[in-house]
């Protein structure tokens, strides 16, 4: 279990990612509108911890992960890595940090270069960040990493199209781990895989985390998937935080109406319980991040919304027991 008495490995403070968007049908002099993809997200991540990030499509999960890596520049806030604010860092600083922060992508096959062999794909980070290593040393490390992720040595000269989706994701995991990073950002790494393969990949990530002492940010749509790998869970909606809580507390006592709606949609293996359970169906569609609702962005779909929810912008507040909620009506 992560030790929260330690200094956080990563601190994200009020991070915002806004885009200027122009309507293609508008006049040339029409002012651009602001799309708030991420609008003030904060959390700490500790060594060895797994933070699950969940929410509907378009809520800003993947944009947040790319902002942490500076693949998309953040427009506000702080991203502090081991005491250093990365938003003020130079390109050279980022090159050094990227040895410690790696990413696993959603589409296993699309994230691999089809013209490179497995050996070249997994060994590429070493050639970029460890140029002093000889070709023999790189190959030795590639073979060792392939064994760790469950790939046979005979596959080393094959190309990505010769593998299944699960095998391609194992190649992506090997590539991310070859530099022995401190943090892996997993951007929906199992959403494109069959259910049985999803379980294999999640179990592999958990085993590698224990062995290598990794911290993980695990992004997914499915709270059932996130439950098996996370220590804490961050629930996002329309670019903002709805709830941040320890796993056990979130599943036993969800404090935000949005979290309760997501949990009610998780299938129950017992047919009798599944038949009798009450699903909280959210009314309406996800609002546009270009024109979000006033006050609480969830109020237009919230069954408990009151007049004050349209007037006050909620902030994430502590309810005790490691639970934080942005619901104005939540009680400690």
Do 192 and 311 lie in one domain? The reply is yes
Structural domain of 94: 10-21+33-100+181-325
Residue 154 pLDDT > 80: yes
Q: Which is higher by pLDDT, 137 or 269?
A: 137
Instruction: Please indicate, yes or no, if residue 27 is contained in any of the structural domains.
Output: no
- State whether the Cα torsion 227-229-233-234 is positive or negative: negative
Higher pLDDT, 192 or 99: 99
Q: Does a structural domain hold residue 44?
A: yes
Supply the DSSP string of 3-68, one letter for each residue: -TTSPPSEEEEEEEEEEEE--TTS-TTSPPEEEEEEEEEEEEE-TT-EEEEE--TTSSHHHHHHHH
Domain-located, residue 143: yes
Report if residue 292 sits inside a domain. yes
Which of 161, 178, 195 represents a domain boundary (last residue)? 178
Examine the domain organization and report whether 144 and 214 are in the same domain: no
Taking 60 as the threshold, does the pLDDT of residue 1 lie above it? no
Sheet holding 84-85, edge to edge: 33-45, 10-21, 76-81, 84-85
Name the 3-class secondary structure at 272: helix
**319 and 230 in one domain?**
yes
Instruction: From 178, 195, 213, give the residue that closes a domain.
Output: 178
Beta-carbon contacts of residue 188 (< 8 Å; ≥ 6 apart): 61, 62, 106, 219, 220, 221
Q: Are 251 and 263 in contact (CB under 8 A)?
A: yes
Reference 61, options 266, 196, 174, 222; nearest CA is: 222
Could you tell me the pLDDT band of residue 270, with boundaries at 50, 70 and 90?
A: low
Residues 54 and 124 in one domain: no
Is residue 93 very low, low, confident or very high in pLDDT (cuts 50, 70, 90)?
Answer: confident
- Residue 41 included in any domain: yes
Is 220 found in the same domain as 118?
no
For 128-142, b/e burial (b = at least 16 CB within 10 A) is eeeeeeeeeebbebb
- Do 285 and 223 fall within a single domain? yes
Task: Provide the pLDDT confidence category of residue 266 given band limits of 50, 70 and 90.
Answer: confident
pLDDT for 175 beyond 90: yes
- Tell which of 178, 195, 211 closes a domain: 178
Number of domains in the chain: 2
235 and 91 part of one domain: yes
Contacts of 40 (CB under 8 A, 6+ apart): 14, 15, 16, 76, 77, 240, 241
What does the DSSP assignment read for 245-262?
A: EEHHHHHHS--SHHHHHH
Angle at 279 between CA 275 and CA 281, to 5 degrees: 145
For residues 145 and 280, membership in a common domain is answered with no
Pair 164, 204 in one domain: no
Q: Please say whether the beta carbons of 43 and 51 come within 8 A.
A: yes
Measured N-to-C along each axis, helices 118-129 and 135-148 cross at an angle, to the nearest 10 degrees, of: 120
Give the three-state DSSP class for 324. Answer: strand
Residue 275 maps to which CATH number? 3.40.50.300
3-state SS class at 195: helix
For 29, the token pair is 């002099």
pLDDT tens per residue, range 11-50:
999 999 999 888 777 677 778 889 999 999 999 999 999 9
Task: Note the pLDDT of residue 3.
Answer: 61
Q: Is residue 331 part of a domain?
A: no
Is the residue at 108 inside a domain? no
If asked whether residues 72 and 194 sit together in one domain, one would say yes
**Which pLDDT belongs to residue 322?**
87
Does residue 207 sit in the same domain as residue 94? Answer: yes
Asked if 56 and 93 sit in the same domain, the reply is: yes
306 lies in a domain?
A: yes
321 phi-psi bin (left φ>0, alpha ψ -120 to 50, beta other)? left
Q: What is the pLDDT of residues 179-236, one digit of tens each?
A: 999 999 999 888 878 888 888 999 999 999 999 999 999 999 878 889 889 999 999 9
- Considering only residues 87 and 309, tell me which one the structure prediction assigns the higher pLDDT: 309
Query: How far apart are alpha carbons 112 and 108 in whole angstroms?
Result: 7
Residues 41 and 45: their CA atoms lie apart, in Å, by: 13
């Amino acid at each position: 279990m992560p030790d929260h008495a330690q200094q956080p490995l990563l601190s994200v403070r009020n991070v915002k990612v806004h885009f200027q968007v122009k309507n293609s049908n508008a006049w040339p002099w029409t002012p651009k509108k602001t799309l708030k993809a991420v609008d003030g997200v904060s959390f700490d991540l500790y060594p060895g911890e797994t933070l699950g990030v969940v929410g509907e499509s378009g809520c800003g999960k993947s944009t947040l992960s790319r902002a942490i890596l500076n693949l998309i520049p953040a427009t506000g806030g702080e991203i502090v890595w081991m005491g250093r604010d990365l938003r003020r860092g130079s390109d050279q600083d980022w090159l050094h940090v990227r040895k410690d922060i790696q990413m696993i992508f959603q589409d296993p096959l699309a994230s691999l270069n089809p013209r490179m062999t497995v050996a070249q794909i997994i060994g590429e980070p070493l050639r970029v960040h460890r140029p002093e290593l000889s070709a023999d040393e790189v190959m030795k490390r590639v073979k060792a990493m392939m064994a760790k992720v469950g790939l046979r040595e005979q596959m080393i000269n094959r190309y990505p199209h010769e593998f299944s989706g699960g095998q391609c994701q194992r190649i992506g995991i090997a590539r991310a781990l070859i530099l022995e990073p401190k943090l892996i950002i997993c951007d929906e790494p199992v959403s494109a895989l069959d259910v049985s393969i999803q379980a294999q990949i999640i179990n592999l990530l958990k085993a590698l985390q224990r062995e290598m002492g990794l911290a993980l940010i695990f992004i997914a749509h499915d709270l059932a998937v996130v439950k098996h790998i996370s220590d804490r869970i961050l629930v996002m909606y329309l670019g903002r935080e709805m709830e941040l809580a320890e796993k056990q507390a979130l599943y036993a006592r969800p404090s935000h109406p949005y979290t309760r709606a997501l949990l009610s949609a998780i299938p129950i293996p017992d047919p009798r319980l599944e038949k009798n359970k009450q699903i909280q169906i959210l009314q309406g569609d996800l609002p546009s991040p270009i024109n979000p609702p006033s006050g609480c962005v969830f109020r237009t779909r919230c069954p408990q919304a009151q007049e004050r929810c349209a007037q006050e912008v909620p902030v994430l507040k502590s309810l005790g027991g490691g639970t934080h909620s942005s619901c104005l009506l939540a009680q400690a």
